[in-house]
Chain A
Amino acid sequence: MFRTSLIAAAFVLVGASTAVRAETLKYAFQGTLNTLDPYTLNETFTVSTLGNTYEGLVRRGEDLSIEPALAESWEMLEPTRWRFHLREGVKFHNGNDFTAEDVAFSVDRVRSEGSDLATRIDDDVKVEIVDDHTIDFVLPAPNPILHYEWDTFYIMDKEWTTEHDAVKVTSASDTAPNYASLNANGTGPFAITSHEAGVKTVFEKHEGWWDTPTHNLDTVEFTPIASDATRIAALFSGEMDMVYPIPVQDIRRVNTNLGTVALTGPELRTMFFGLDQRRDELLYSDVKGKNPFKDVRVRKAIYQAIDIEGISKKIMRDLSTPSALMISPLLFSRADEFSRHPYDPEAAKALLAEAGYPDGFSVGMDCPNDRYVNDEAICQAVAAMLARIGIKVDLDAQPKAKYFASILAPGGYDTSFYMLGWTPGSLDSWNPISNLMDCRDDDGKGSPFNIGGFCDERIHELTEKVLRETDTDKRTDMIAEIYRIAHDNVYYVPLHQQGLAWGVRDTIELVQRADNHFKFRFVTKN
C-alpha cells in the first residue's frame, strides 16, 4: 500500500515536470538589430532590445517610473556627490561577478571615442570607487536628473570586454569586427545565444538572474521583417507571437482577425512643425526682403489653420493625441494647464491680414516620407489646410536619409518650414528644452535641433537654471514658464503624440511601454 502510493506520487511528479513546456516567444520588428555593442547606436529599437540582455544601475517599470536595478539604492550625499549602493551577488551571463569595477569601466567606455551614448554621463563627472559594491559620482554642478537616462546606460563586464579585446567601442571606421558587436554578456534576464545581424537573434533565459522572473519564457527568437504585409501575415498565420509596428490602416484588420489583437497606446514622441525664424529672408518663399515667420501673428495663423482633430481622425485613424506641448503629457506633471490655440481658419485669415499678408504668400515645406507614422500624408493635409488661408505650400517630401542631411546643421539648416518628431531620451523636460528651444548660432552651437533658430532671452536664461535646480517644485515652475513662453509666441507648431500599435496573439500577455521598449520580462505566454 505504502509502496503503491509512493509510485503514484512519483508518477504525479513526472507528470508535473513534463507539463512544464519550454515556452518560446517569436517576434518580429520592421528594422534590424545591427550590433550587440550597447554603446554603438543611441536608437530606440537597439537600446530597447539590448535591455533584455544588459541592465543599467536603474531600470524603468511598466509605467516608466525609475526602479533600482543593478544599484539597490542611491542617495545624494551633497548636491554634487551621488552615492550608489550596488546589488550584491549579481552575476554576468558568463558567471563573472558584478562589482563597482565594472561600473567604473562602463563609464569610461560609454564616454570614449566612437560611443553614440556619450550623453549618458558628462565628461567632467568623476567616478570614485568606495568599495566593491559602493560607487560615488562627483559632479561639477548639481544635476537632479543625473540617472534619468541610466536605464539605457548598460553595464558591461570589465573582465570579459578586456579579455576579448573589445574595450574600444565598435566604430564605423573599424575594419575588423569587434567582439562586443557580435556577442553579448550582460546581467539581464536573457542571454543572447546566437546572433546573425539582419537574420535572426536568439535569447535564452538567464537562470542566475538576480530578480524573480515574472515572465514564463525560456527562449525568445527575434526576426526582422521589413515588409509590412509579410509581418502581419506572419502574425495571422501564427508563425509570430508578436509583431511591431503595425500600420495604422491595418489595426482594424488585426483586431477583427480571430486570435490576434492590436495593442495601441500613446507614444512619447511629439510631432511638430518648425519655422525658420532666424534668417532675414526665407530661402523658399515669394516674400522678399523680410521673413514673415518672424511675426508671431503669421506663426499663430499657421497654427490655427491646422485642423488637428481632422488629422487625428482621417490620417492617424485615432492613433494620435493632439498636443499643445512639445513634450508628452505623460512626462510633464502640469501638462493639463496647457491647451491648443483653437482651430479657427477665419481667425487665422484675420491674423494674416493684420500681419500684412491679406493674400497670403508661398513657402516651401520639407517633410520626410519614411520616418514617422504617415509623415508625408500629414504634410499634404497641412499644405491643403494652409491653402485655405492663402498660404501656398510647395511640399518637398524626401526619404529620411536625404531629408535629415539637408535640414540639420551639416546641411546648413536648409529649410523654411519643416516637420520633426522628438522623443526625450531622459523622459524629462530638460531634454526637449535644451535640444529644441534654446538659442543657437549658424553652426548649431547651443540648441542644435532648434532648426528654425529662434532665440528667446528668457528661455535662454531659464534653460541654464533648470539644469542646476534640485528643488522639484521650483524646477517644474521654470519648465512650465518656458513652455508657456513657447506656446504664447508659437515658436513651434506642435501636432500630436503619435500612437504605438503592436500586433499580438491573444495567448500572449505583455506590457506596452510608452517609450516603445519591448521588455521580455513583462511577457507571459499561455
Chain B
Amino acid sequence: MILFAARRLFQALIVMLVVSFLAFTMFRFVGDPINQMVGIETSLEDRAALRESLGLNDPMPLQFARFVAGALRFDFGTSYQFRQPVADLFAKRIPATLELSLTSALFALVIGVPMGIHAGLKRESALSKLFMSLSLVGISLPTFFIGILLIFLFSVTLQWLPSFGRGDTVQIGSWWTTGFLTVSGLKALILPSITLGLYQMTLIMRLIRAEMMEVIRSDYIKFARARGLPDRIVHFRHALKNTLVPVVTITGLQLGSIVAFATITETVFQWPGMGLLFLHAVQNVDIPIMSAYLMLTALLFVTINFIVDLLYFLIDPRLRVGRP
C-alpha cells in the first residue's frame, strides 16, 4: 500500500515538472510582456532596462530554474500588470471561483439526478422526451453562448437577475469573501452557476438514465417487484443506489474540471475569480499569473487523480493481488 502510494506520488511529481516545463516554454510564444507594461511613448532604453530587471534576458534554463525554485516555496513572483504578488491575487480570487464551482456542481446534481431517474424509468413519457432534447441543447451549445442567452433573457429583458459580478460579498475571516450571505450575492450566483453547470447536469442526467435503464432490467429488480414491493422502494432503494457508483466517480472528476475551466463563464459574467484573472493575464502576457495558474490547475488534477487511484486501490481488491 505504502509502496503503491509512494510510486504514484513520484509519478505525480514528474507530471508536475513536465507541466511546468511545457507551460514555461509556451510563454515564449505568447508575445512580449514589456509592451503591455509601459505606454507607447516609453523610450527604448527604459524598455530594455525593464526587460533586464525582470530577468527576461537570462537564458531559458536559468529562468525555468528560478521559476521552479520559487514555485516550491509557493512564491510565484509579482504580477506584471498589477504589481502585486501572484499568491495574494490568487488568495483574493479563489473564494469566488470555489463558490461558483460548488454551486454549479450542486445545481447539476440536484437537477440532473431527478431528471435522469425520470427519463430512465418513463422513457416514453413526453416529459422524458423534453428532458432528452433539453440535454442535447446543454451538450451542444457552447458555454459562452448559453451565458449570453441567459443574460439577455433574465437581465436585459426581464431584469430579474444581475448580468455581471458577484453582488455584495461578506468578509469571513482574514481572506475569505462569500456571496452566500447576501441577497444580491445569491442572485448573482444563479446565472453563472446554471451556465457553468449545464453541461455537467446533462452529463449526469444521461449517465443516470442509461444506468437506470440497465439496472431496471436486472434480475434483482424483477425479484423485488415479484416480492410485491412498492415502486417507490424498488426505484429508489434498489435501483438508484446501484446507479450512483459511476455517477459519484464522474461527479468527483468533473468538479476538478469545473474549477479549472470556469474561465469562459467567468469572462462572460465578469465573475471576479481565477479564470477571469487568467484570461486577462493571457491577453496581457502576464507570465507570472499564467504559469502559476497552470501549475495550480495541474496540481488540482494530479491531486484528484492521486486520490482516485488510492480509492480504487481500497475499493477494488483485484488491484491488491498480484502486485508487488
Contact = CB atoms under 8 A, between A and B. Distances in A.
Interface of A: 28, 32, 34-35, 37, 40-43, 113, 116-119, 170-178, 181-182, 196-200, 223-227, 229-230, 233-234, 236-239, 370, 399-405, 408-411, 422, 425, 435, 443-444, 448-449
B180 to A, nearest CB: 18
Given A238-B159, A239-B164, A399 B31 contact: yes
A410 B32 contact: yes
A41 B152 contact: no
B42 A116 contact: yes
B83 A177 contact: yes
Given A181-B84, A402-B30, 4 more contacts: A28-B164, A116-B42, A118-B43, A226-B280
Interface in B37-73: 37-44, 46-51, 53-54
Contact of B44 (A176, A230, A410): A410
Contact of A198 (B32, B82, B162, B268): B82
Contacts of A177: 83-85, 88
Contact of B54 (A32, A172, A197, A399): A172
Given A119-B41, A177-B88, A198-B277, A223 B164 contact: yes
B33 interface: yes
A401 B285 contact: yes
B92 interface: yes
A410 B34 contact: yes
B163 A230 contact: yes
8 contacts: A35-B82, A171-B53, A197-B84, A239-B155, A370-B283, A399-B31, A410-B51, A411-B32
Given A116-B38, A225-B270, A239-B163, A405 B155 contact: no
A410 B279 CA distance: 26
Nearest to A444: B44
Contacts of A117: 39
Interface of B: 30-44, 46-51, 53-54, 77-78, 80-85, 88-89, 92, 148, 151-152, 155-156, 159, 162-165, 267-270, 272, 276-277, 279-280, 283-285
Contact of A435 (B38, B41, B276): B41
A177 B43 CA distance: 25
Contact of A227 (B33, B51, B83, B267): B267
B162 A229 contact: no
Contact of B162 (A170, A239, A401, A448): A239
A172 B83 contact: yes
A199 B46 contact: no
Given A223-B270, A237-B163, A410 B47 contact: yes
A32 B269 contact: no
B39 A174 contact: no
Nearest to B75: A175
Contacts of A225: 164, 270
A172 B80 contact: yes
Nearest to A404: B35
B44 A42 contact: no
Nearest 6 A-B pairs (CB), nearest first? A401-B31, A42-B39, A405-B32, A402-B31, A173-B53, A199-B272
B267 A237 contact: no
A34 B155 contact: no
Contacts of A435: 41
A42 B83 contact: no
A380 B138 CA distance: 36
Given A223-B165, A226-B270, A239-B163, A175 B46 contact: no
A404 B32 contact: yes
A410 B51 CA distance: 10
Contact of B270 (A230, A408, A444): A230
Contacts of A370: 283
B38 A230 contact: no
**Most chain B C-beta atoms within 10 Å of own C-beta, residue among A34, A119, A234:** A34
Nearest to B273: A199
A40 B83 CA distance: 10
A28 B48 CA distance: 34
B83 A116 contact: no
Contacts of A181: 83-84
Contacts of B78: 172-175
A92 to B, nearest CB: 23
Nearest to B165: A223
B56 to A, nearest CB: 10
B30 A401 contact: yes
A425 B78 CA distance: 29
B268 to A, nearest CB: 6
Contact of A34 (B35, B81, B148, B270): B81
Contacts of B165: 200, 223
Contact of A42 (B41, B49, B77, B162): B41
B283 A227 contact: no
Contacts of A178: 83
B242 to A, nearest CB: 44
A524 to B, nearest CB: 25
Nearest to B33: A401
Contacts of A448: 43-44
Nearest to A32: B280
Contacts of A116: 38-39, 42, 46
Contacts of B39: 41-43, 116-117, 425
A108 to B, nearest CB: 17
B163 A425 contact: no
Contacts of B89: 197
Contacts of B43: 118-119, 448
Nearest to A113: B49
A403 B30 CA distance: 10
A73 B49 CA distance: 38
A186 B99 CA distance: 37
B82 A230 contact: no
Nearest to A448: B44
Contacts of B36: 400-401
B272 A198 contact: yes
Given A402-B30, A410-B47, A227 B270 contact: yes
Given A41-B39, A42-B39, A404-B35, A233 B151 contact: yes
Contacts of A404: 31-32, 35
Nearest to B160: A237
Nearest to B82: A197
A40 B280 CA distance: 19
Contacts of B54: 172-173
Given A34-B83, A177-B84, A239-B164, A229 B148 contact: yes
Contacts of A197: 82, 84, 89
Nearest to B264: A227
A182 B284 CA distance: 20
B84 A237 contact: no
Contacts of B284: 401
Nearest to A401: B31
Contacts of A196: 92, 272
Nearest to B32: A405
